Amino acid sequence: MDAVLTELETALGHEFVRPELLVRALTHRSRANEQAVTERAEPGHSAEGGNAQTSDTGDYERMEFLGDAVLGLVVAEALFVAHPEWHEGELTRVRSQLVSRQHMAEVAVTIGLGSHLRLSRGEDRGGLRSKGTVLSNSMEAVMAALFLDGGLEPVRVFARRWVMGDAVEHLAEELRSGAALGNYKSALQEHLQAARAGAPVYRLKSESGPDHRKRFQVEVRLQAGEGEPGKPLARGAGSTKKQAEQDAARRALERFRAAQVKAGIRASGAEKEEQAKA
């Protein structure tokens, strides 16, 4: 295990007994194919007997299948134990958000998984390292590697820290408020429609960082009428434009809810003053 992968082990919270499992979980099909072509061209390789030095790391596609199932089990178990008040439908909805491709891609970005991916030279130059689908697929494969190397416990530890974390409380709050679970843009639009306030409009404000670690900042505005600039509501950031838009919508909703709470407190105080005067 080289120093770079040792850094990833630290983020995963697990030291691999079989590091080849982690290497395979990080290997994209393009790299496996490129490596196979290179090895066939090496001296000593024969079409019949092959090359005794040929590696058999393969790619992460089969591991992705297993990791998806293991992660689903671990998250379901944690939610079942932590929230006895939730019914089946609520448990299913929250688990679905936590193990979704979008969320797993976000987890991958958080732990810097993209920089550890093993890609072909061509795909690496093409920006595949930062693609959400590749990140989420490889993240699931890493879950399989953890399971195959150490059983369910290292997957549980990782899921509690990175997959669930604060996200569970945010989703629980959405359940309580009746919002569109996990889709802050839809929830914001529904809120504004109910208040007859106008429509949300999203604008890209800035884009920074290298191709494999882009950072987008988006502003959401309230557009009350055609052609109007609109009132700014909030700004959000993310590794993709969609994630930044969701973050901006989430922040706007939080501001609306905070304002509603303050209004309720003021109304309650005014009512008590009236009662005291009476």
CATH of the domain at 248: 3.30.160.20
Residue 52: pLDDT over 70: no
Q: Number of structural domains, the chain?
A: 2
* pLDDT tens sequence across 133-168: 899 999 999 999 999 999 999 999 999 999 998 888
Q: Which tokens hold the place of 138?
A: 């490889």
Collapsed DSSP state (helix, strand, coil) of residue 220: strand
If asked whether residues 163 and 193 sit together in one domain, one would say no
**Residue span of the structural domain in which 215 resides:** 184-277
Structure confidence at residue 80 (pLDDT): 97
| DSSP alpha helix (H) spans, 99-240 | 101-110, 121-125, 132-150, 152-158, 165-177, 184-195
Q: Which residues pair with 234 in a beta bridge?
A: 220
Same domain, yes or no: 130 and 230? no
Task: List the CATH number of the domain containing 168.
Answer: 1.10.1520.10
Count the Cβ atoms, other than its own, within 10 Å of residue 275.
8
Do 92 and 217 share a domain, yes or no? no
Residues designated as active site: 68, 140
How many angstroms separate the most distant Cα atoms in the chain? Answer: 100
The last residue of one of the domains, among 177, 209, 231, is 177
User: Hey, what are 269's tokens?
Assistant: 């105080």
Tell me the pLDDT band of 120, cut-offs 50, 70 and 90: confident
Among residues of the chain, what percentage have pLDDT more than 70?
79
Q: Is the pLDDT of residue 211 over 90?
A: no
Backbone angles phi, psi at 228, to 5 degrees: -80, 145
